Amino acid sequence: MTNLATQAAIKHARAHRDDDLRDLFTLLSQPSISAQNIGVQECANLEEALLNDAGFSTRRLDAPGHPVIYGEWLGAAGKPTILFYGHYDVQPPDPLDLWQSDPFTPTIRDERIYCRGVADNKAQHFSHIAAVRHWLRANGSLPCNVKIMLEGEEEVGSPHLDTVVAAHKDLLAADFVYTSDGPVTDARYPEIVFGVRGLLYVELFATGANRDLHSGHWGGVAPNPILALSRLLQTMIDDQNRVLIDGFYDSVRQPTPGAKAAMDALPFDTVQTIGGIGLTEMVPPAERSYAERVMFQPTLNIAGITGGYSGPGSKTVLPAKASMKIDMRLVPDQTPDEIWEKIRAHVEKHGNGIEINRLDGGMLPSFTPVEHPLADIVRAAVAAGFGAKPISVPSAGGSLPDSVWTQTLGLPSFLVPYGAPEQANHSPNESYRLERLYQGIETSIHLIGLLGE
Amino acid sequence: MTNLATQAAIKHARAHRDDDLRDLFTLLSQPSISAQNIGVQECANLEEALLNDAGFSTRRLDAPGHPVIYGEWLGAAGKPTILFYGHYDVQPPDPLDLWQSDPFTPTIRDERIYCRGVADNKAQHFSHIAAVRHWLRANGSLPCNVKIMLEGEEEVGSPHLDTVVAAHKDLLAADFVYTSDGPVTDARYPEIVFGVRGLLYVELFATGANRDLHSGHWGGVAPNPILALSRLLQTMIDDQNRVLIDGFYDSVRQPTPGAKAAMDALPFDTVQTIGGIGLTEMVPPAERSYAERVMFQPTLNIAGITGGYSGPGSKTVLPAKASMKIDMRLVPDQTPDEIWEKIRAHVEKHGNGIEINRLDGGMLPSFTPVEHPLADIVRAAVAAGFGAKPISVPSAGGSLPDSVWTQTLGLPSFLVPYGAPEQANHSPNESYRLERLYQGIETSIHLIGLLGE
């Protein structure tokens, strides 16, 4: 039973959809390409104005790089506090010739808004701002406290996010973090994600002779660096795809019963899932479900290898060098530092001189219990806003800097994608369904209402 | 003790070095780039005129592709017959800006002729033609029969050589084939090579999903084709570098005692040899000598591998495809057809769907016994021409279409490089020492003389 103030906010939202569209279009029309430093400052200014108009008091957080905007409405003493996170920067729109309308002229076709950045992430964090605005216009105050932080560097890897958050722990103190970004897995099901896997990325370099050699004069005499990498790889992973690096699984925490139950309840069909990539079966071990593999298992994936001649036809060369890239997805409580030490020691022991480098810092895995009391409130808000019971995904397969919330701030973090799979993030003709915009705004309105009860 | 007719031919050669240089320069000034079809016909005409001037009767052999020139002098009934082989086509001269003089303007500096194709192969087969000319001018006749075949497609892989030879077996009948091409291993030692290893070149293609995948969503679910290639490779070669393909060694013939003795007598220092490529030891097995490895052992070499992302930085991709190239050097009596069947069967059994393609036809190994009676005559000619006892290399490490002589014609074949290692075949500033030109001509003169005794 939705309370009266929430009902009033919803009513206000439905009566003012044109205002929301107009303000969202203003944001969308402003390019804010972080990788090329195009329009980022101008967009930050628009965001801040929008926050002020909605009723937030705002400031910029001290940070290197593009502006970090902070807004707050803290008039509900004693009530819970949400921290919304979003990003106002967008991907470059290239290739331009594949766009059906100008990438920075928001255009509605077939009940969708087409514009670079609409789904990733402007319409999604706009939904939270609009929810606050409708609440305040309809009711004069909020029943809980709301903070929001918008960064302008997500599309270039959030290089300063963790530092900024760590430097503003008190300011950002809240009961939980709520992020709407990316698409749900299946457009039929609203979705709440409770964690992400971590990441460690390494490069391996094998060296043989001091130059590429004639294979007839040196084959079977000089070391072949491709063979060396291959041999090392066989010491790292067995035929059941178990990682053989000493201690690799030591820190893996068993999923909680709730997380396991949530996983088992997911409505996805493995046969259909893997059929979409052209497969009829998964790699060993046969007994492990798709969901368990991507949610609760760490992996070691060979992302690339190169060495010798790979052009057309034949070249009888014994290459002097070969290299390989490996990414590892980590699960709680593995850390990139721990696994780096372990793989480094493994390569030192078994690599016969092969060098290993760590790329980037990696990412910590993050984890919020599906049994968390606040999760029920989030589920109820999503169910009310989208009109369907959300699924609970205990862990996303991929990696995001979600640990900035769960570890640096020590808060529960809920990832609630308002977008849908077909929205073409990062691609030409990125789009966002109008229906999902309105559903998202109403979900955020419900969230505020439910937290205040 | 050199006979009088040989002495007369040598004297004639020494008195007419300017004529030889003039005629060689005419050949050299004519570009004959088979890969680009530049000047090949014109050069064939010059070669034929040169052969006629020397005293050969000539014809063109029916053949697709660039002209094959045949010459003969058969006035020594009952005496042995030499078949000389050479090629008049040359590599493209690029990169032009690295040449110190025009690549097709023969230029003498520091007692060397600089010109594209001088070493590979114009000056070398010219030595045989000049030897016949000096013999005939000095003595009116030869004491043995001489045939010569010059092709214009060696630098593009001699695609029609075997067919042409097979179609002219009677015409090309001889007691042995004598080829001067390439450089000796060490400029201090004249060299006779008695065989080459064969070659089989294959490409392997591994496929996973129907497209490149996000490693976070699909790692540990979909097959990784790089891992698949690596696993297959481990079934093909063990840690002592022994090839594990069923029956791979079945046809390997033990070297004859003479071949083994010749190998043991080679004056090369393994430590120095491998030091030149920056190594202090060879790969296992430790007890096997360098010479034995490259002469009498077949090898399996990974010439190239590629899959996934190999650019700068990180990309978390699970690639859909990976490929690998392998060359195998074969020794008597292995054949490319036999080994192809064996590796194909191996990949079918162990490859888990990996595809294998054969590239080119491959090459048969060739072998002429170092104990062959004619070998002593060749050794004596080289010793007389170069003033030093030649070393006998039972097998070159690399691969050449030498089996066209030993198998298609069924003849002994002696490879007697007149060139030296520093001559920069295929590179800018290709050159040939004047001294080696004169030594080569005199070697061929001695060969004719010794065969007639």
The Cα diameter of chain A in Å comes to: 86
Tokens of B359: 């590239």
Q: At B400, is the pLDDT very low, low, confident or very high (cuts 50, 70, 90)?
A: confident
User: What confidence category does residue A157 fall into, taking pLDDT thresholds of 50, 70 and 90?
Assistant: confident
Q: What's chain B's average pLDDT?
A: 96
Q: pLDDT digit string (tens) for A90-133?
A: 999 988 999 999 999 999 999 999 999 999 999 999 999 999 99
pLDDT at B421 over 80: yes
Would an 8 Å CB–CB cutoff place A308 in contact with chain B? yes
Residue B221 and residue A293: Cβ atoms within 8 Å?
yes
Residue B422 in this model has a pLDDT that exceeds 90: no
| pLDDT tens for each residue of B116-129 | 999 999 999 999 99
Mean pLDDT of B407-429: 93
Would the pLDDT of B197 be above 90? yes
pLDDT of residue B1 exceeding 70: no
Question: Chain B: nearest CA to A306, how far in angstroms?
Answer: 5
Q: What residues contact residue B374 under an 8 Å CB cut-off, 6+ apart?
A: B80, B175, B176, B412, B414
Q: Please report, rounded to a whole number, the percentage of residues in chain A having pLDDT higher than 70.
A: 100
Q: Is the pLDDT assigned to residue A439 strictly greater than 70?
A: yes
Residue-averaged pLDDT of chain A: 96
Reported as a single tens digit per residue, the pLDDT across B289-340 is: 999 999 999 999 999 999 999 999 888 999 999 999 999 999 999 999 999 9
Q: Which chain A residue shows the shortest CA-CA distance from B212?
A: A277
Contact B299 A219 (CB under 8 A): yes
Convert the pLDDT of each residue in B148-170 to its tens digit. 999 999 998 899 999 999 999 99
Phi and psi of B148, rounded to 5°? -145, 140
Q: How far apart are CA B148 and CA B85, in angstroms?
A: 6
CA B30 to mean position of chain CA atoms: 23
Buried b (16+ CB within 10 A) or exposed e, B56-78: bebeebebebbbbbbbbbeebee
pLDDT value of residue B157: 86
> Domains in chain B, please, with CATH?
4-196+365-452 (3.40.630.10), 198-252+298-363 (3.30.70.360)
Contact B350, B233 (CB under 8 A): no
pLDDT at A277: 93
- Kindly state the average pLDDT of the residues B238-249: 98
CA B212 to chain centre: 42
d(CA A408, CA A151): 17
pLDDT tops 80 at residue A2? no
Question: What pTM was estimated for this model as a whole?
Answer: 0.90
What residues of B are in contact with residue A285 (Cβ under 8 Å)? none
B207 phi, psi to nearest 5 deg: -130, 140
Q: Who contacts B323 (Cβ-Cβ below 8 Å, separation ≥6)?
A: A310, B203, B204, B205, B206, B229, B305, B306, B307
Contact (CB<8Å) A241/B218: no
Confidence (pLDDT) at A423:
85
- Pick from B49, B125, B52: which is nearest to B84 by CA? B125
The confidence score (pLDDT) of residue A426 equals 85
Put simply, the answer to whether B220 touches A325 (Cβ < 8 Å) is no
The reported pLDDT for the residue numbered B240 is 97
CA separation, residue B129 to residues A187, B47, B78, B149 (Å): 82, 10, 22, 11
Is residue A1 predicted with pLDDT exceeding 80?
A: no
Assign A424 a pLDDT band (cuts: 50, 70, 90): confident
Contacts of A73 (CB under 8 A, 6+ apart): A55, A56, A57, A132, A136, A142, A145, A146
CB A323 within 8 A of CB A306: yes
Mean predicted confidence (pLDDT) in B415-431: 91
Using pLDDT thresholds of 50, 70 and 90, give the confidence band for residue B250: very high
Distance from CA of A16 to the nearest CA of B (A): 39
Residue A229 neighbours by CB under 8 Å, 6+ apart: A204, A206, A305, A307, A322, A323, A324, A354, B230
Mean pLDDT of A336-365: 96
What single string gives the DSSP state of each residue in B198-221?
Answer: EEEEEEEEEE-SSS-EEHHHHTTT
* CA–CA separation, A314 and A211 (whole Å): 19
Is B80 a residue whose pLDDT tops 60?
yes
Chain A contact for B314 (CB, 8 A cutoff): yes
Report helix, strand or coil for B324: strand
Q: Note the residue count of chain B.
A: 453
Check: CB of residue B258 under 8 Å from CB of residue B370: yes
Interface of A with B in 379-418 (CB under 8 A): 396-399
Tokens 């054969």: give the residue: B358
Phi, psi (rounded to 5 degrees) for B386: -100, -5
pLDDT of residue A400 exceeding 90? no
Contact B317 A303 (CB under 8 A): yes
Q: What are the pLDDT digits (tens) for A28-69?
A: 999 999 999 999 999 999 999 999 999 999 999 999 999 999
